[in-house]
A and B are shown apart, each in its own frame.
Chain A
Amino acid sequence: MKSKTYIPYLFIAPAVILFSIFMLYPIISSLILSFQTGQGANLTFVGLDNYKRLLSDEIFHTALKNTFILLIIQVPIMVLLALVLASLLNSALLRMKGFFRVTFFLPAVTSLVAYSIIFSIMLMNDGVVNQLLTSLGFKAIPWLNDPFWAKASLIIAMTWRWVGYNMVIYLAGLQNIPEELYEAASMDGASRVRQFFAITIPQLKPVILFTVVLSTIGTLQLFDEPFVLTKGGPSDATLTIGMYLYQTGFRFFDFGYASTIAYVIVVLIAIMTFIQFKITGDQE
């Protein structure tokens, strides 16, 4: 049956052709563009000038800093919360597991723009969240008008959207942990909390790594939420690298410089993924 060696090529042809035109070519072209400057079609090679410009670009530094602050705070909070929820949902005492699983997963189904709009309206100065806070005797919080709280708003919104998604992944991972481990720990008198840190987290390490890598890649590209929820403000407090790329490319039409920013994201993702595998991958 070896006569028709061209058959598999027919099967992959559409994918390979489309991929080459709309993915491979843009990736390479973008790299070339990152060494060019000019408006629209008049581009000239400038070597590393764009990359040098990044080094002294204050707005870029702000965007970089914001992105990393969001990353370093949001991802651990979300992972821990998802782990706790997954453990609770895995409890033998619980009925209605299906209901809770679906309810917690529901936010992950909504479009990023839709939920960002809802959160933006809920978090306005006289919005429902502040009304709840003041009625409980707390002070109203300037969620969207203060640099610190604007970041907090983004973190809260992103955590709301993604906790359930990660929780479902961990739930599946929990099924593979042998029950005997917990039984032995209980016999030794280890508390639930102790078991969580001594058994659950180490056993789930590969799964946690997988979700952390996914979340890191997602956060480094963050665009929809800050664009809609905080509009990058106040005074660039929530401007992300993804947003700065969009502004540079499609508000100022500086394609060369925007491509440079894009490649910074590429490099950052590569480095971060590498580090995360290095930190956690030793035992595997």
Chain B
Amino acid sequence: MRQSKIGKKIGLYSVLALGALVSLFPFYWAAIGATNESGKMFSKPPVLTPGEKLAENVQNLNASIDIGKVMFNSLFIAIVYTVLSLLICSMAAYAFAKFRFKGRNIIFGIFLLSMMVPYHATIIPLFKMMAGFGWLNTYQAVILPNLAYPFAIFLMRQNMLAFPTSLIEAARIDGSGEWKIFFKIVLPSMKPALAATAIFLFLYQWNSFLWPLIALSSNDMYTFPVALSSLFGLSRIDYGQVMAGVTIATIPIIIFFLALQRQFISGMLGSAVK
């Protein structure tokens, strides 16, 4: 009945290696596609090695969607959003964690409850509102709606609960102002939580699709997901070009992920897991 340990090991590694192959292949395929002619992706047998058309594909891509502008839009929106949201959510989280005040539990409860409401239930009034402000097709239309992100507030609050209240009180007795206590004492000790939350917010915004698709209407304002989907929706698709776009949009995130794995994983899982 008993298998040998070596047999078990071989079985284990083969299953996991197959899984790893399945996990990685689509990335490899996209990168290969980006370096080959459009038709090569469908030739028999399929071309599995890099070709020499990368420059050409990128050029064609740049002619269809201004890559520099799209990259700028995506980065600008995601970075401004992350910084502002991190600040706003940490401030609120600090009050919820370290102050007692009237309405605290009710307000916090409403934030938590809203996490159950799907984003779909807000987009139509949001669209009408943005149209009313004359803000359709602007950066603020994409950045503003989710700045107060309940989940980020929740995350930061959980981390701030553990911060010693005695330190805050000692600083008060020393005569430090409330803002100084928050920015100079509390926030600096929250770096791991801030990093995880920042990654969560950045990825959320960088990958966000439905709302930017609705709010942004001209090529020069598109973020990567919207630009890529518009490219992919054309009647004649140049696959080399599309794969170049997908690769360019994906590589920065992968590098970022590989460099900051721990923070990334705890950010994406909402620090539910350490």
> Hey, which bits of chain A sit against chain B, CB under 8 A?
1, 4-5, 7-12, 14-16, 18-19, 22-27, 29-31, 33, 85, 88-89, 91, 93-94, 99-100, 102-115, 117-122, 124, 126-128, 131-132, 135, 160, 164-165, 168-169, 171-172, 210, 217, 220-221, 223-224, 227-228, 242, 245-246, 249-250, 255, 258-259, 261-263, 265-266, 269-270, 273
Contact = CB atoms under 8 A, between A and B. Distances in A.
State the majority secondary structure of interface residues on B.
helix
Contact of A265 (B120, B144, B145): B120
Contacts of A94: 12-13, 16
Nearest to B172: A1
A173 to B, nearest CB: 8
Nearest to B147: A18
Contacts of A127: 41-42
A193 to B, nearest CB: 13
Interface residues on B, range: 35 or more
A105 B265 contact: yes
B246 A224 contact: no
Nearest to B120: A262
Contacts of B94: 11
Interface of B: 5, 8-9, 12-13, 15-16, 19-20, 22-24, 26-27, 29-30, 33, 41-42, 44-46, 88-89, 91-92, 94-96, 99, 101, 104, 107, 110-111, 114, 116-129, 144-148, 150, 153, 169, 172, 178, 182, 203, 206-207, 209-210, 214, 224-226, 228-229, 232, 239, 242-243, 246, 249-250, 253-254, 257-258, 261, 264-265, 268-269, 272-274
16 contacts: A8-B99, A15-B148, A22-B122, A26-B129, A88-B12, A104-B20, A105-B265, A106-B257, A107-B26, A110-B250, A121-B243, A124-B42, A223-B120, A224-B210, A259-B124, A262-B118
B232 A12 contact: no
A223 to B, nearest CB: 5
Contacts of A4: 178
A224 B209 contact: yes
Nearest to B42: A126
A270 B101 CA distance: 30
A11 B246 contact: no
Given A103-B20, A109-B257, A121 B122 contact: no
Contact of A23 (B15, B114, B226): B114
A16 B92 contact: yes
Nearest to B24: A103
Nearest to A9: B101
B122 A27 contact: yes
A12 B95 contact: yes
Contacts of A103: 19-20, 23-24
B229 A169 contact: no
B89 A169 contact: no
B161 to A, nearest CB: 15
A250 B214 contact: yes
A15 B45 contact: no
